[in-house]
Amino acid sequence: MTRITEQIERVRGRVENAAERSGRDPQSVRIVAVSKKHTPSAILEAVAAGLTRFGENYVQEALPKIAAIDAPAEWHYIGPIQSNKAAPIAEYFDWVHTVPSAKVARRLSARRPAEAGDLQACIQVRATDAPERAGIDAADVAALAELIEQLPHIRFRGLMIMPLPGQSTDAIRREFARTRELLTDLNKAGHAGDTLSMGMSGDLEAAIMEGSTMVRIGTDIFGPRTYDGGKQTA
């Protein structure tokens, strides 16, 4: 068993324990292995261990890896989106977790190849009291969800949140709970979101307890980030 395989098993155990403690089916929580700054060979080890979802933050780093992985894989873009990078994100990724605005949503829709099927999209909700952070204010989420549902080649799937670092577990759980309640309100209003992209290596338990359906795990699967095979621009 490789180091990465052992670490994946530990993460799976944490996910299962957190789900069971919250009365949920562990299968309702999907693991996105955050492979930014990790090598294609490390990704292939994770594939061999049964993972199929991989998250990347930087387009120029991700594209050679996507081309190099000759195995079933679902690629998730989880980094900030610059307008001039919408085209490759729309073309090469299956999911995007970080839609922050109507402008970006329209560009992703316009650039998505029809033959690729719909791009699965989560709206990134800005953390409370963090105007400098990426994402959209909670008050504006409903309008953006409605726009995405009207656009071709892109499908609204849910919400993503990145709490501010350095907070207490209680504060982080409040951010996750706020995001869950926001998605519940959207669905009551007629939307069809089924995804909460919440939780990373340090707070996956808190996220799952508050309803996360997709956790983004990097360091606890792959270890320290060392790969420099791509220029790190969004």
Three state DSSP letters for the chain: CCHHHHHHHHHHHHHHHHHHHCCCCHHHCEEEEECCCCCHHHHHHHHHCCCCEEEECCHHHHHHHHHHCCCCCEEEECCCCCHHHHHHHHHHCCEEEEECCHHHHHHHHHHCCHHHCCEEEEEEECCCCCCCCCCECHHHHHHHHHHHHHCCCEEEEEEEECCCCCCCHHHHHHHHHHHHHHHHHHHHCCCCCCEEECCCCCCHHHHHHCCCCEEEECHHHHCCCCCCCCCCCC
Q: Is 154 a member of any domain?
A: yes
Average pLDDT over residues 12-22: 97
Q: Is 231 a member of any domain?
A: no
Indicate whether 1 pLDDT > 80: no
The domain total for the chain is 1
Indicate whether 225 pLDDT > 80: no
The whole domain housing 116 covers 3-222
Q: Is 90 a member of any domain?
A: yes
Look up the pTM and report it.
Answer: 0.94
CATH number for the domain harbouring residue 47: 3.20.20.10
